[in-house]
Amino acid sequence: MQNTLPQRRQELGWSQQRLADELGVSRQTIISIEKGRYDPSLPVAFRIADVFQCSIEDLFTPGT
């Protein structure tokens, strides 16, 4: 799955660790999501969308 997480995180000036802390996950989880190696669970995806005040669809799109 493709995502806009790195761009949105950088727009806020947040590190991967800061986002991980906000979400209650590990930095490694954020790295894996950003690189498309790991798709977040639905609850985590909703928390990410809440942090960025957008919909899940604005963050994640199916990969090609």
Structural domain including 19 reads 2-55
| Phi-psi map region of 53: left, alpha, beta (phi>0 left; psi -120 to 50 alpha) | left
Residue 64 placed within a domain: no
Give the pLDDT confidence of 3-46 residue by residue, as tens digits. Answer: 999 999 999 999 999 999 999 999 999 999 999 999 999 999 99
Name 2's bridge partners.
Answer: 61
DSSP character for 36? T
Q: Is the dihedral of CA 2, 11, 29, 21 positive or negative?
A: negative
Asked if residue 62 belongs to a domain, the reply is no
Rounded-to-5 percentages of helix, strand, coil across the chain = 60, 5, 35
Identify the CATH number of the domain in which residue 22 sits. 1.10.260.40
pLDDT exceeds 70 at position 64: no
The tally of domains found in the chain comes to 1
